[in-house]
């Protein structure tokens, strides 16, 4: 597949994504330098994911800031559909979400749609519930503000969510979801209904508060079709359209094609041991280096296709100066592929060591994060 042949749906990403083309296809806006400056007025520093264009696109972020500047604080809404272990591709957007929560001091509603992958996949209901618990531990471990973070679990909070979901559902026809999500006549009726439940956290806090609170959804760009439909429907129910801020995909170990995913070859999981991380990076991480050390020293490597370098850029080296130095050294051949991989392995393992410690402590905190309103 070349750049002309990529596809992005909420369930699958294939090929090398042309993000400019995708923005046109989805109708989302690029985050402009002016918008970055406007954000910076409030955040003081810009998160490196903003500086580096990892969060690159948005809907209605200017409107959201208008509201914020008028004193109408927003809430954040993001989520995780449990079906397997959490990997670095998931963690990327959540780290950014935590930063938004901290710098704006806002509530975060974190949805766990624990029926989605049951309705759309092959796993049993009980297996999905096991992953629900495991995934909650990962989210808690990232350090979200426990006073301002509210987990919504679709089945557990159905008495709160289903009455709102049917109001959404009444405004959506079968032909609308068919075209948005590629469903057909053989699709099960739960999967057809599902997007209504995903829309609910975008306005539920307003229903609970009894007044309209703006909503900002940080998410990877492949989820945009869900929220595009949500944005069409919510004004018909008297609610604001949610704003969004969208990120590119963390590359899989095999290179800049698709996204890191449990179903597509090896991913790095939050529960991996240092040895497993070392093995995966050394064995699978696509290298931008030359075939021989001699060639590498002479011509240098290509950090822009090197997956280890990408992981530093996307997640593990927040310092632009240090990142630039690695880029230069690798490109000039001063740094070997082995050395670059070792830097990344060490960074990942340092992150995971702390994460796994927090993840263990999270076992005692789960109930306090689940919304009990």
Out of 4, 33, 70, 186, point to the residue binding a second copy (CB under 8 A): 186
Alpha-carbon span 273 to 253, nearest angstrom: 17
Q: Of residues 68-127, which lie at the interface with a second copy (CB under 8 A)?
A: 115, 118-119, 125
Least distance to a second copy from the beta carbon of 125, Å?
6
Name the DSSP letter for residue 262: T
Least distance to a second copy from the beta carbon of 37, Å?
42
Name the DSSP letter for residue 29: E
CB 352 within 8 A of CB 358: no
Out of 43, 62, 72, 187, point to the residue binding a second copy (CB under 8 A): 187
Least distance to a second copy from the beta carbon of 216, Å?
26
Q: Which stretch binds a second copy (CB under 8 A): 24-32, 63-71, 180-188, 356-364?
A: 180-188
Q: Taking CB under 8 A as the rule, which mask of x and - marks residues 233-252 in contact with a second copy?
A: --------------------
In this structure, the number of other CB atoms found within 10 A of the CB of residue 278 comes to 17
Q: Taking CB under 8 A as the rule, which mask of x and - marks residues 136-175 in contact with a second copy?
A: ------------------xxxxxx-xxx-xxx-xxxxxxx
Residue 265 Ramachandran class (φ > 0 left, ψ -120 to 50 alpha, else beta): left
- Would you say 87 or 226 has its CB closer to a second copy? 226
Alpha-carbon span 355 to 322, nearest angstrom: 23
- Would you say 104 or 193 has its CB closer to a second copy? 193
Please provide residue 64's backbone torsions phi and psi, each rounded to the nearest 5 degrees.
Answer: -60, -40
CB 57 within 8 A of CB 221: yes
Name the DSSP letter for residue 154: T
Residue 193 Ramachandran class (φ > 0 left, ψ -120 to 50 alpha, else beta): alpha
Q: How far apart are the first and last CA of the chain?
A: 49
Least distance to a second copy from the beta carbon of 111, Å?
14
- Would you say 46 or 208 has its CB closer to a second copy? 208
- Would you say 61 or 233 has its CB closer to a second copy? 233
Run of H or E including 112:
strand 108-112
Least distance to a second copy from the beta carbon of 167, Å?
6
For residue 7, what are the β-bridge partners?
14
**Sites of contact with a second copy (CB under 8 A):** 115, 118-119, 125, 154-159, 161-163, 165-167, 169-175, 177-178, 183-193, 195-196
């Amino acid at each position: 597949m070349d750049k002309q042949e990529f596809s992005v749906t909420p369930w699958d990403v294939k090929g090398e994504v042309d993000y400019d083309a995708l923005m046109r296809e989805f109708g989302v806006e690029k985050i402009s330098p002016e918008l970055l400056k406007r954000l910076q007025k409030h955040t003081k520093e810009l998160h490196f994911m903003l500086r580096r264009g990892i969060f690159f696109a948005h809907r209605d972020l200017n409107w959201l800031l208008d509201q914020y500047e008028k004193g109408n604080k927003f809430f954040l809404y993001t989520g995780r559909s449990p079906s397997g272990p959490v990997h670095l591709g998931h963690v990327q957007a959540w780290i950014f979400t935590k930063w938004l929560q901290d710098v704006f001091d806002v509530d975060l509603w974190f949805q766990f749609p624990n029926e989605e992958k049951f309705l759309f996949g092959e796993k049993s209901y009980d297996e999905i519930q096991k992953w629900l618990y495991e995934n909650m531990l990962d989210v808690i471990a990232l350090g979200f503000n426990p006073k301002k973070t509210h987990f919504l679990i679709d089945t557990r909070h159905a008495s709160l969510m289903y009455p709102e979901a049917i109001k959404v559902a009444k405004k959506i026809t079968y032909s609308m979801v068919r075209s948005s999500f590629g469903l057909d006549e053989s699709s099960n009726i739960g999967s057809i209904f599902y997007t209504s439940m995903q829309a609910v956290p975008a306005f539920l806090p307003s229903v609970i508060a009894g007044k309209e609170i703006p909503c900002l959804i940080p998410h990877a760009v492949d989820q945009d079709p869900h929220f595009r439909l949500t944005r069409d429907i919510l004004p018909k129910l008297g609610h604001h359209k949610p704003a969004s801020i969208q990120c590119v995909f963390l590359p899989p170990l095999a290179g800049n094609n698709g996204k890191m995913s449990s179903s597509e070859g090896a991913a790095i999981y939050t529960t991996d041991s240092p040895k497993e991380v070392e093995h995966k990076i050394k064995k699978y991480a696509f290298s931008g280096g030359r075939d021989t050390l001699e060639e590498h020293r002479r011509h240098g490597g290509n950090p822009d296709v090197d997956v280890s370098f990408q992981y530093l850029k996307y997640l593990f080296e927040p310092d632009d100066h240090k990142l630039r130095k690695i880029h230069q050294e690798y490109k000039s051949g001063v740094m070997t592929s082995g050395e670059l991989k070792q830097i990344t392995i060490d960074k990942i393992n340092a992150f995971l060591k702390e994460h796994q410690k927090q993840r263990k402590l999270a076992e005692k905190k789960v109930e306090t994060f689940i919304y009990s309103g």
